Structure 1
Amino acid sequence: MTVAPETPAIALRHGRDLMSPELFARLADFCAEEYGHERSMAERIMNEAITLCYVMGSTNAGDVMAPSKAVDPGWHTFMLHTEDYAKWCTENFGYFLHHRPNSKVRTQGLMVDVVGRIRAEGFEIDERLWGTAAECNAPTCCGDGPCC
């Protein structure tokens, strides 16, 4: 009898691992206090925001990607720490990733596309923060757009 060797599972990446634990903790603390989130929720938001920024910057997709309403406070938190944000952008992409707000409606379709792009880069997704979770049901809709 021949036994096939087990294929090791590929570990998914996390945004929080793209910076020092100290910087991540400082950003999560600020996000929690500034936006009134529990610390654990602020950590989830920051993880997704850092992941979004990394994928936008490393793939030059900043003009076609946008954060969900739930993730947006994380990106704003990071940008408000301008020295850390500028240094992180330069170290990771070689340029400053600008925030270019537009009138794009955060539809479920857009969020699915953004999540797909992030997933394609090997990152784990917290789908509840993007409004793309399959179990998303009213009245506790987990994100933006008409997902419920």
Structure 2
Amino acid sequence: MTAVVSGPKTGRALVPTGLFTKLAQRVATDERVDKNHADRVVDQTLAFLGTCAVSDLVLAPSAAVDPGWHAFILHTQEYAAFCSLVGGRFLHHVPTDDADPTLHGAAARAVIERTVAEIRRARFEVDEDLWKPSVVDCSQCYQGCSDSPRP
């Protein structure tokens, strides 16, 4: 018997099509981006959150991905149900103080690199353009958002 190894999975596969569309529309409107870009953001947000659900590490979205998490949280019932389904626990959005040194420079890049490695380890596709290290060199690095590690 030969084992079948499946390729990477998409974040969008974690939610029903209607919810994905609703989240992408919210991102497109709020961020003033086109539908394709919003779809990519939401896909990576869901991959990120799916990874947070199974990881014991503190992970953080890139500045490009964070708006998808913000959009999802606004849909509180769907977000809570998603968290319960993928991780059996609520995935908290934990802002940090702007003075936190992990929000800037090399430390911020290291957090993003760790996050991307974990997303790959969880077997999700990674949209490299939305996770570029240069994205975290801004003063609003992922807006200080991270997932709290498992209790």
Please give the range of the TM-score, normalised by the shorter of the 2 chains: 0.7 to 0.9
Aligned to 1:126: 127
- TM-score (structure 2 length as normaliser): 0.78
Cα offset for 1:10?
3.4
CA distance in 2, matches of 1:22, 1:95: 23
CA distance in 1, matches of 2:89, 2:76: 14
What SS does the corresponding residue of 2:103 show, helix, strand or coil?
A: coil
Q: CA 1:9–1:58 in structure 2 vs 1: closer, same or farther (change >3 Å)?
A: closer
- Of residues 78, 83, 91, the one that matches 1:97 is 91
What SS does the corresponding residue of 1:25 show, helix, strand or coil?
A: helix
Matched, 1:77 2:71: yes
CA distance in 2, matches of 1:33, 1:52: 21
Cα offset for 1:8?
7.2
Gaps of 5+ in 1: 1-6, 133-140
CA distance in 2, matches of 1:117, 1:9: 19
Amino acid paired to 1:46: V
Instruction: Report if the CA contact (8 A) 2:31-2:67 is conserved.
Output: yes
| Bigger relative CO (Cα 8 Å, ≥ 6 apart) | 2
Identity %: 33
CA distance in 2, matches of 1:112, 1:91: 26
Q: 1:12-23 residue pairs with structure 2 within 5 A? A: 12-23=8-19
Aligned to 2:148: none
Amino acid paired to 1:24: F
Amino acid paired to 2:127: D
Aligned to 1:67: 61
Matched, 1:30 2:10: no
What SS does the corresponding residue of 2:95 show, helix, strand or coil?
A: coil
Aligned to 1:40: 36
**Of 50-59 and 72-81, the range deviating more from structure 2:** 50-59
Aligned residues: 129
Matched, 1:145 2:143: no
Matched, 1:56 2:13: no
Gaps of 5+ in 2: 139-151
Instruction: Report if the CA contact (8 A) 2:10-2:124 is conserved.
Output: yes
Instruction: Report if the CA contact (8 A) 1:131-1:145 is conserved.
Output: no
